[in-house]
């Protein structure tokens, strides 16, 4: 999804929250209804002065309209690239934060990201190849690419290569989450034991 279409989606969502039609929003900013439609479809840029007026009208910031980021999250977005929705899902949820932190800090995280990226790129190549050759369904063994597999250089059909990296992503993610659960459980058990030593009266009854 392009940045223009994402901006358009936010404008549409803000308009719908106020229960306004495209015609009503157009009247508010002295433009034609078709202009609003083009904004929401991401097919026309919004002038700076209208962006400012729109932010005031909807009670949000220009950052939110343009990047989907509330002002209080601007620094987090700048550093991590996390969207407003992603930040809000993590805010106030310590367990979710711990899981995400463990995932990112894992030695296997970059390997996971690379596998996901390869699967995504191969899927795009597959769709592009099918479109160019007007193909439907499974591709033949002639449609091959070279990928660096664990066993060295491997030649696979596009669909097989895509499945390979999807499988690799799933396996790596499972390993990371399993490691997190085991480590978190050990730390929590250690905390409980330490708490019992410090406050024997609150130790669980035998």
Model confidence pLDDT, tens digit, residues 108-157 = 788 888 888 887 887 777 777 667 766 555 555 455 454 444 444 454 56
Asked if residue 65 lies in contact with residue 7, where contact means CB atoms within 8 angstroms, the answer is yes
The whole-angstrom separation of Cα 191 and Cα 101 is: 20
Q: Which CATH number applies to 3-90?
A: 1.10.260.40
Three-state SS string over the chain comes to CCHHHHHHHHHHHHHHHCCCCHHHHHHHCCCCHHHHHHHHCCCCCCCHHHHHHHHHHHCCCHHHHHHCCCHHHHHHHHHHCCCHHHHHHHCCCHHHHHHHHHHHHCCCHHHHHHHHHHHHHHHHHHHHHHHHCCCCCCCCCCCEEEEEECCEEEEEEHHHHHHHHHHHHHHHHHHHHHHHHHHHHHHHHHHHHHHHHHCHHHCCCC
CA contacts within 13 A on the Cβ side of 159 = 8
Structure tokens at 95: 């367990």
The whole-angstrom separation of Cα 68 and Cα 86 is: 10
**Residues near 49 by beta carbon (within 8 Å), at least 6 away in sequence:** none
The whole-angstrom separation of Cα 159 and Cα 117 is: 15
User: Over 80: is that where the pLDDT of 22 sits?
Assistant: yes
**Residue 110: how many other CB atoms lie within 10 Å:** 10
User: Over 60: is that where the pLDDT of 98 sits?
Assistant: yes
- Residue matched to tokens 């193909």: 135
Top pLDDT among 202 and 180 is at 180
Question: pLDDT-based confidence at 94, cuts 50/70/90?
Answer: confident
The whole-angstrom separation of Cα 63 and Cα 148 is: 41
Q: Is 0.75 surpassed by the pTM of this model?
A: no
Top pLDDT among 122 and 90 is at 90
């Amino acid at each position: 999804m392009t940045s223009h279409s994402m901006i358009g989606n936010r404008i549409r969502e803000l308009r719908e929250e106020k229960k306004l039609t495209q015609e009503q929003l157009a009247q508010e900013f002295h433009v034609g209804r078709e202009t609003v439609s083009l904004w929401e479809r991401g097919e026309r840029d919004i002038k700076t002065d209208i962006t400012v007026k729109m932010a005031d009208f909807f009670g949000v910031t220009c950052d939110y309209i343009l990047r989907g980021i509330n002002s209080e999250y601007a620094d987090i977005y700048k550093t991590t690239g996390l969207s407003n929705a992603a930040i809000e899902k993590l805010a106030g949820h310590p367990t979710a934060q711990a899981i995400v932190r463990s995932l990112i800090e894992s030695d296997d995280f970059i390997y996971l990201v690379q596998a996901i990226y390869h699967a995504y790129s191969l899927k795009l190549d597959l769709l592009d190849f099918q479109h160019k050759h007007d193909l439907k369904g499974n591709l033949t063994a002639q449609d091959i690419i070279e990928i660096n597999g664990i066993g060295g250089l491997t030649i696979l059909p596009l669909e097989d290569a895509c499945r390979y990296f999807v499988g690799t992503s799933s396996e790596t993610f499972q390993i990371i989450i399993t490691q997190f659960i085991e480590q978190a459980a050990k730390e929590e058990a250690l905390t409980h034991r330490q708490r019992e030593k410090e406050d024997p009266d609150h130790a669980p009854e035998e």
